[in-house]
Amino acid sequence: MAATAIWDVKDRLDRVINYAANPGKTENQGSASQNMQGLQNVLEYAAREDKTEKQYYVTGINCDPAIAYKQMSQTKLQFQKKDGILAFHGYQSFSPGEANPEIAHAIGVKLAEELWGGRFEVVVSTHLDKHHLHNHFVLNSVSFADGKRYYDNKATYAQLRQASDRLCREYSLSVIENSQEGRSEHYAEWKAGQEGKPTWRGLIRKDVDKAISESMTFTQFIATLRKQGYEVKTGVKYIAVRPQGKERFVRLKTLGKGYSEDVIKERILQNRIPKKQEVLLEPKRKRIAAGRSPDLKKTRKLKGLQGLYFHYLYKMGVLPKHTASRKRTHFLLREDIRYLGELTAQIRLLCKHRIENAEQLLSYQSILEQEMAGLSAERKSLYRLLRRCKDNVRTAEYKQQIAGLSKKLSRLRKETKLCRGIQFRSEEMKEKLSQIKLEENEKQREEKEHEQRSRSSRSNGQYEP
């Protein structure tokens, strides 16, 4: 089975660069602009030696992988199209154990030649660093043949999907049956799904399934969704829902084949025959420990950023509580389960370095950046010595020292990224918690008013219908 996806590469590649940057290969060597440097970063990531067995599985189509950045840049300059989308980053992933590196790379090269080989420069690389083999495609957005741009849309994605499936069948590999042809997910959504993490659409799908299973009529289904906190738009061509805290409505039919209004009604009809409801146990929440002190008495006294993170994880249901609560976790917090690894790393950094406020965080980040600058300068000096060195023993020593510095820089970059993430995440946490608090207060006020009306009606001998 080969899953495919393709995304455009624009001037800002923070997420791709932070995820994939190779410290020893991504240094700006001179006059490249920020935009064109972004293209170079993607090309370098696709052809990283630690992922491709020293580039044995890297192939250039209409270009030389070693100078692909230069050739793609020249094409853009020739047709005066340096702005906008720089390239397209494609992905083809195989099921674990289904293909060997030679077959995976052969399929990737054939796919790229068939789809883009007549007009575009493409670098194809097969990465071997995961338990599943996967191909990366870096496609120049401008054609070397006529200067026209490549346009990624539903039709071109459908061609990618169909060609990939056909080639997989030719090599006796499985394919994804009943896939939604021509439909490309957003990168974050697709990546979360590949890694088995919850997505916000997946959470909606789960809630819709639950509402269907508990309903005997379509009206009851709508009411159940509203009880779950969804705003439901009915009386329109396609029924749509909006989760708590989200700005846009989602049409149920876009959730998959079994979620159109007609199919939902058919599924509800199957509930008419009374069945004994199964008691489904809630999945065990993974408990995490931050720092070296799991003592909850201490965590309750935490303030500032540390207190904010612990409180947020309590509200998410990740950390244990003293009293069991059946209160439903808010949708905004449920979807953040996908970022649990990131949240855990951030809270560990806060606790390890005793960072309580934004000033301390910025101070620690500044220390990291100064140390990185020193190590980078030292590594550049070693690179200069290495280029001039002709002694094998000294060359090996320089390479070893460079590798050690690169390892240290990699660790410091990760911590710096965590610091930047905490700055952004903490503000987002505050906003979400504030929004949830307002909703809870509003709900309590409505419940209190309802209770007062009920008491008033009973005291007057009247009963509400």
Give pLDDT tens digits for 388-406: 888 888 888 988 999 899 8
Query: Does a structural domain hold residue 229?
Result: yes
How high is the pLDDT of residue 39?
55
How high is the pLDDT of residue 190?
56
Q: Which residues of the chain have pLDDT under 70?
A: 1-2, 10-56, 129, 131, 175-198, 272-301, 320-327, 458-465
Query: Does a structural domain hold residue 400?
Result: no
Which strands, in side-by-side order, build the sheet including 87-94? 2-9, 87-94, 134-140, 122-127, 58-61
Q: What are the helix (H) ranges across 330-391?
A: 331-334, 340-352, 358-388
Which tens digits make up the pLDDT trace of 139-192? 999 999 999 999 888 888 889 988 998 998 888 887 665 444 444 455 555 556
Same-domain check for residues 417 and 327? yes
Domain range for 72 is 2-188
Query: Does a structural domain hold residue 274?
Result: no
How high is the pLDDT of residue 110?
94
Same-domain check for residues 146 and 209? no
Same-domain check for residues 138 and 111? yes
Which tens digits make up the pLDDT trace of 42-82? 555 555 555 544 445 789 999 988 888 889 989 989 999 88
The CATH code of the domain that includes 23 is 3.30.930.30
Q: Which pTM value belongs to this model? A: 0.43
Name, in order, each residue with C-beta under 8 angstroms of 429's C-beta and a sequence gap of 6 or more. Answer: 308, 309, 312
Same-domain check for residues 218 and 180? no
How high is the pLDDT of residue 204?
86
R_g (Cα) of the chain, nearest Å? 27
Query: Does a structural domain hold residue 394?
Result: no
How high is the pLDDT of residue 265?
86
Query: Does a structural domain hold residue 280?
Result: no
> By three-state DSSP, how is residue 447 classified?
helix
Among residues 288, 410, 298, the alpha carbon closest in space to that of 346 is found at: 288
How high is the pLDDT of residue 144?
94
* Whole-Å CA distances, 246 to 84, 229, 231, 242, 339: 29, 11, 10, 6, 18
Can you tell me the distance from the alpha carbon of 387 to that of 347, in angstroms, rounded to the nearest whole number? 42
Can you tell me the distance from the alpha carbon of 60 to that of 137, in angstroms, rounded to the nearest whole number? 10
How high is the pLDDT of residue 119?
94
* Whole-Å CA distances, 275 to 270, 281, 318, 343: 10, 18, 33, 41
Count of domains in the chain? 3
Query: Does a structural domain hold residue 460?
Result: no
Contact 224, 271 (CB under 8 A): no
How high is the pLDDT of residue 298?
46
Query: Does a structural domain hold residue 408?
Result: no
